Every structure is written in C-alpha cells, then in structure tokens.
A and B are shown apart, each in its own frame.
Chain A
Amino acid sequence: MTSESTLFSNRWLPALLVAPFMLLIVLFFYVPIFQAFYWSFFLEQPFGGGSMFVGLDNFARVLSDREFWQAGWRTILFMVTGSSLAVLVPLILAVAADRKIRLSLPARNVLVWPKGVAGASIGVVFAFVFNPFVGILAPLNQAFPGIWAPGIDGTDAFITLIAAHVWGGIPFNFVILLAGLQSIPRTMHQAAAMDGAGPWRRIFDVQLPLIMPQLFLTLVLEFTESVTSAFALIDTITHGGPGGATTLLVYKIYKDGFSGYDLSGASTQTAILMVFVILLTAAQFVFLGRRINYER
C-alpha cells in the first residue's frame, strides 16, 4: 500500500472538526493579545470615550514610571526565587520518594493534594497561618516584638508569598520529576553501583542527567506559572503591600486596569509582560533546551 492509506484525505471534515476550537481560541486568545498590542499605541478613554493614536507615548509613560520598574524587578525576583524553590523542593522530595521506602507510598499520595486547593484558598489559609497576631509566629512576636511583621516588612510579606507559591507548586513538579526518576532503568543504577558509585554520586551522575528533560520542562512551565499564579496569592495575602513590596506586574496591571481605568497603561504593561514571557520561553529553549539529550 502507498502512503495514501496512512491518513484520511477528506478536505472539509478536518476543518469542520477544528473550527469550533479555533473560533474560541481566536476570539478569546488571539484577539485579546492583538488588542493589547494595538491599545498600547492608542490613548483609550474608559467607558467608550473614543481613542487617539499616540505612537510610543504609552511606552514612554510606562517606562518612565518608577512603580513599573519596581513591579518588574519584583516579578523577576519572585520568578527566580519562587520557581527555583518550586522545582528544587519537589526534586528533593522526588529523589527521596524514589528510594522506595515505607513512606514513599503515603508521600506520593499526600504530595498531590495541593492540586485541589485553589491558589486563593491557600492564600486565605497562609494569610491566617502567618498572621502576626494569631498565627504560628505570634509567640515569636511576643518574645521579640516586631520580628515577624508581614504587614510592615516587605521581606516578610514576600517570604509568605514564596512559601504559599512553593506549597501550591509541589504536586505537578513532584509527579513529573518522580515519573522521570522511575523511568530510569534499574540496570543503570546497578551498573553505576558496580563501578563504585555511591548513592550520592549516583544522584548527580546518573539520576539528575537522565531526568534533564523533566527538569527542563518543570522549569519552563514554572517560570510562566510564577508570573501568573502569583495574582491569587497577592490578592488574598498581601494586597500588593506593604508599600508595593509585593506588587508584581500581574497585580499592578489588574489594579491599573480595573481600579484605575487606565486601559492604555494596563495594555502597554500587558504587551511588555507578554513579550517578556515569550522571550524568556524562547531563551530557555535556545540556551537550555538544545543541550538536553532526550535519548536514553
């Protein structure tokens, strides 16, 4: 038989099958993205008051805004610390769970639970647990007044956010990394052990190199995730405070757009954030992705 038989050759049926999904994606994904870039070149009046082409004025305005840069750096700081921890912690847990000890089974069960707890719900819980007056650190505060004050100290607020972010990120990364570890053939371990590699050595010379594809994937997804998922946590735990210390770009865009009615400013920041995320993902694929060996 020729290649004729490996695929259907209808012309309209596949278009019909993809059409509903494509329509949805164009309407709620590509149009909004296009509009964000479009609006960044116009001065939009809220409540349909018309618009005016202003060239790069919006970008000049946003880029000269000190608060924008602060939010931008906070976003990067959160991305770097939050996502490296959100990959590192599940990695350590996965390596431990891969040893097939008695606790492996309950751990594998419990560690996916956060998947069912919404970011905002865990935000509400962490807002309580780390509350300076009634939370777990309240006794510490009584002994040393002011040592834990997320309402005043920006660093404390930031730490709370990171702790909540890592908590919510464990299930996905843990499952992916553990699946990667478990697909390493036992014979590899045995061969390495025969050659005299101890358990530590095997972690770094056998296990980590072999789960590079999974590590890469979790890192790429985690970077995007940390840019976006932070919103629910910020809105429930810190409200961007104190003093803008936890105002990441997603939160600032929301505030500018929905409370300040500054549609042009919010769209311009959205456009910048999108370009940043796209470049970041591309850079990861170019610099990291290429070096990864998917062959076993």
Chain B
Amino acid sequence: MIENARSLNIAASLILLVGMLYILGPLYLTLATASQSYEFLLRNGLAWYPGDQFLNNAARIFTETRIPIQMFNSLAVAFSLAIATCILSFLSAYAIVYFRIRWAGVAFALILATIMLPVDIRVITTYQVASNIFSPINALLDVTGLNGVISELFGAPVQLELSVLNTHFGLIAPLAAHGTGTFLFRQFFRTLPGDLFKAARMDGAGPVRFMFDILLPLSRTSFAALFVLTFLSGWTQYLWPLVASSTPDMQTAVVGLARLLPDSDGTVPDFPMIMAGAVIVSLVPLLMIALLQRYLVQGLVLSEK
C-alpha cells in the first residue's frame, strides 16, 4: 500500500473477518448440527460444536430419502446443461462474430434479451409449452388456416402432442435457453487479434477448419469457465425443476432437500438429518468451487465485460 496505515489495515482485516464469519457461520452450524442427534437438538437447541452422529444422519439420508437418485438427476441435469450451453453458445457466437451476415445484430439482441427475463419469471407459460412442445406449431397451423385445409383433405386437423415434462430433456431445455454463454464467447472472440483470422485465411483455412483448428484450442479457458458457471447454475436451480418434475424420482437433489422440511410449524423438524442432507447436496458444487475456483472467478469476470 502507499502509506503505512496500520489502523486502516486493522479495520479492513476486521471487515473481512466479519464477512468470512457471515459466510462460514451458517455453513459451520449446518455441519455441527448435522453431526448431532435429534435428541441432542431437542435438549440443547442449536449445536455449537460437532458431535459424532454425522455418519448416522448421512446414512439415513441415503436410506430413508430419495436424495441419492435425486443427486444423480442433479448431476445429469447440471452436466448436460453445461455441455449443451458450451456447444450452443460457442457455435452461435462464432457465427455472429466471424461471418458477414446482415442479421448478426438482430440475432445477438434476441439472444441477449434472454438474460433479462429468467425462467423463474416466465414459469407459468414455459410449463405450458413444455407440456406440449408442438403447441406453437398447432397454433400456427390454426391461425394460418392451414389446419382448415388439412381437415378438409384428411378429415381431421393436425394436433401434434409431445410433453417433455418429467424428462431430463424438459428439465434442461428451458434453462439452456439463456444468452450468457454467447455473450461470454463473443467478448472473448473480440479480444483475439484480427491478424489471426487474416493469417488463417491466407493459409487457406475455411470456416470449419478455422473453427476447429484455431478457435477451439484458443477457447479452452473460456470453455472451462463457462462450464463451471453453468454446471453450478444447473445444480442450484430450484423453481423450474420443482414444477417440471412430477415424481420424486425425477426431482433434483435441491428440490428433494427442500421437500424434507415439513410444511407445518409446531413440532421441531429433524434438523440434524435435514442438515446432513444439505451438506451432502452441497458437496459436489462446493468441491467443484474448491478445485476449479480459478475458472469460476474467470467466468464471472468474463461474463461481465
């Protein structure tokens, strides 16, 4: 620092200490409670120190609840969402940045607008679309009068029906319709020197070759950053998985965890077991953050610029 301000440094340290306490406090209490028994909770209330019942509580999560299979669902959803987002975003950003097309600006605006209205806001009608993904086609046929013609000719109008509710695809697709990744790749492509493109063209590289041999290897870090970011977002989604899955076996772990809380007040819920569930459910994303923090931070910063 510029001047030797010890008192300021002490104040800054205190602020950071309080901040870390705010983050870690609830996590510590979760862990401590998860390792106590229900009887302990009823007798002493909140556990300030860890006990020896964690394995016991965790075993009950694995045997008495659907969390294990829901963890698998979460993993499948988060992983496929991250992969799909990476591929779709990369392709669309590549088309928008590297081709002379008149509609590039419009396409980018249409994609970017998705950031403004997340799925939580449009959940009612997204659910309706997911319950029959052909409904727009049916409506289009009705409105254009084509269905009238068809029913004249064939005796019945076209009414296609396919529900993606309660499928993994249905859990993922509305979440993947999100523009952050395209934005991230576009920003990254624009930082690359233009000479790179010219040199590749002079060497005779076409669009496909340029994408696979030059752009793809250069984008490795952006891919990692976007993957981590989307994986975490997929794992932590709540409202959409809640409505899009109708059976416990299709729900994600976060939804399953929230279902463990009883709806009514009155009795004290079995908090040690629920907290053990919270620990188990958060283990995968927290581990990911611990191992891949560099990419996460990079992703957060990149998605901003």
Contacts and interface: CB of A to CB of B under 8 A. Distances in A.
Interface of A: 1, 5-11, 13-15, 17-18, 20-22, 24-25, 27-33, 35-36, 39, 89, 92-93, 95-97, 99-104, 106-107, 109-129, 131, 133-136, 138-139, 151, 167, 170-172, 175-176, 179, 189-190, 193, 199, 214, 217, 224, 227-229, 231-232, 235-236, 239, 250, 253-254, 257-258, 263, 266-267, 270, 273-274, 277-278, 281
Contacts of A125: 26-27, 29-30, 275, 278
Q: Report whether over half of chain B's contact residues are helix, strand or loop; otherwise say mixed.
A: helix
Interface stretch (B55-63, B110-118, B144-152, B216-224): B110-118
Given A35-B125, A134-B45, A112 B33 contact: no
B48 to A, nearest CB: 9
Q: Which of A31, A127, A170 has the most CB of B within 10 A?
A: A31
Contacts of A28: 119, 126, 129-130, 173-174, 176-177
B258 interface: yes
Given A29-B113, A250-B120, 10 more contacts: A1-B198, A13-B95, A14-B101, A14-B104, A32-B125, A113-B23, A116-B282, A118-B285, A231-B239, A267-B124
24 contacts: A5-B197, A6-B194, A8-B98, A17-B91, A21-B88, A22-B111, A29-B114, A29-B177, A36-B122, A112-B293, A113-B27, A116-B282, A117-B286, A118-B281, A120-B236, A122-B26, A124-B278, A128-B271, A172-B300, A175-B301, A224-B118, A267-B124, A270-B125, A274-B122
Nearest to B299: A175
A257 B120 CA distance: 13
Contact of B91 (A18, A104, A257): A18
A273 B124 CA distance: 12
A111 B20 contact: yes
Contacts of A278: 116-117
Task: Report the interface size class on chain B.
Answer: 35 or more
Nearest to B114: A29
A96 B12 contact: yes
Contact of A273 (B107, B121, B235, B296): B121
Nearest to B20: A110
Given A113-B27, A119-B238, A133 B13 contact: no
A163 to B, nearest CB: 9
B136 interface: yes
Contact of B88 (A8, A24, A99, A193): A24
Interface string B19-31: 1101110110110
